[in-house]
Chains A and B, each alone.
Chain A
């Protein structure tokens, strides 16, 4: 199908964009790379009165390694992040996950801010942000504010970002010496959304310590299960049967592809495989 009728504006400053969103009273929607929004428009799942194109906002640009970590402007495309020098050293988890996100042609336009704003429960970036303890910077009518990833993903496509706010940037904290990372997802076909996946950060491997495990493709949003992390901390990560029992805390969702039971099983498989790869 074709997109419905809407107004379009391409503001040239953050202030102008925020004013348009505020004036739209919920009818105005930000447009970033369009790689999720355009399908929703074409299917007429989304029928905004106005699209506010974010491509002209200098405030949402920029990708740089700072003393605090990697600061990613919201409009940074996946392909720009992939091409960032030494990404595999600076943020190994992100480097490992990027090739699994959709396909080249989608990554050439899709943005990090767009993925985090949408918060698709099966998307990789939200789980990575949880694993890394990222900070999401927002700006809106009440001024700028920072939200920790742990407080950001609230439910099915629901986040701490209000409709009249914009994500301006995301900070991935600097990794420490000794940090280890794991990533695994189960998909039907390369580039598909995951049927279940995990992104792991640990500050040691023998034993595991300070674990942060982001699950995606399992429930209504990317999430951590702290009881499971606690059960694995201090162990060598080889006997995880006991820890896996904490997966029951997740409200696994079934869909047209797989049942909730299969998904629960897959989450365990993804975790086992990611840990195994991390520990060898």
Chain B
């Protein structure tokens, strides 16, 4: 029982040990203590999705989890998704489709889009729209984002067919 805690976790493949105030949330820890400012902070109550990161492979809200709850987990941020190449196809199609303007929502959009694609989501625009309904974008009007995600799924299917 304490107001600070020692935590050890893997962030983007790197082992990190830190002492954190227990009230500190995960996304603030990532941004301010670890220096990974790719994840953004908008609403701090779970509705905008800008803070979405992966914890043990699941997309979660970084603002709705305490850093101390991430003790022993593996966290992947937008920086990690990019470094490992997992988001490469999405980054290309987001650029091609102009699926970002200010870019504030983009890290969360990429994490959410990836969880849809990795789960085998279909190239169905209505389903994609439903999936990203938890991520706000105040610039693009979503159309281009939905199309960018859809493009990647279609592309993957074509590549798989060609490979088969």
Contact = CB atoms under 8 A, between A and B. Distances in A.
B152 interface: no
Contact of B23 (A5, A34, A43): A5
Classify chain A: how many residues form its interface, as a range.
Answer: 20 to 34
B112 A34 contact: no
A2 B23 contact: yes
A265 interface: no
Interface in A188-238: 189-191
Contact of B61 (A51, A105, A191): A105
B158 to A, nearest CB: 26
A105 B63 contact: no
Given A8-B5, A9-B1, A39-B46, A190 B130 contact: yes
B68 interface: yes
Interface string A44-61: 000000110101000000
Given A39-B45, A39-B46, A104 B3 contact: no
B156 interface: no
Given A3-B23, A39-B45, A108-B59, A34 B2 contact: no
A8 B133 contact: no
A105 B59 contact: yes
Interface in A76-98: 79
B44 A1 contact: yes
B25 interface: yes
B65 A106 contact: no
B115 interface: yes
Contact of B65 (A6, A8, A34, A189): A34
B3 A38 contact: no
Nearest to A52: B1
Contacts of A1: 44
B3 A5 contact: yes
B131 interface: yes
B63 A42 contact: yes
B131 A104 contact: yes
A174 interface: no
Nearest to B23: A3
A53 B68 CA distance: 10
Interface of A: 1-9, 20, 31, 34-35, 38-39, 41-43, 50-51, 53, 55, 79, 102-106, 108-109, 189-191
Given A8-B22, A38-B65, A42-B63, 16 more contacts: A2-B23, A8-B2, A34-B64, A38-B25, A39-B44, A39-B64, A41-B23, A51-B22, A53-B69, A103-B49, A104-B59, A105-B112, A108-B58, A109-B64, A189-B133, A191-B133
27 contacts: A2-B23, A2-B25, A3-B25, A4-B23, A8-B5, A8-B66, A34-B65, A35-B61, A38-B46, A39-B46, A43-B45, A53-B69, A103-B131, A103-B133, A104-B115, A104-B116, A104-B131, A105-B58, A105-B59, A105-B60, A105-B112, A106-B61, A109-B58, A109-B60, A109-B64, A109-B65, A191-B130
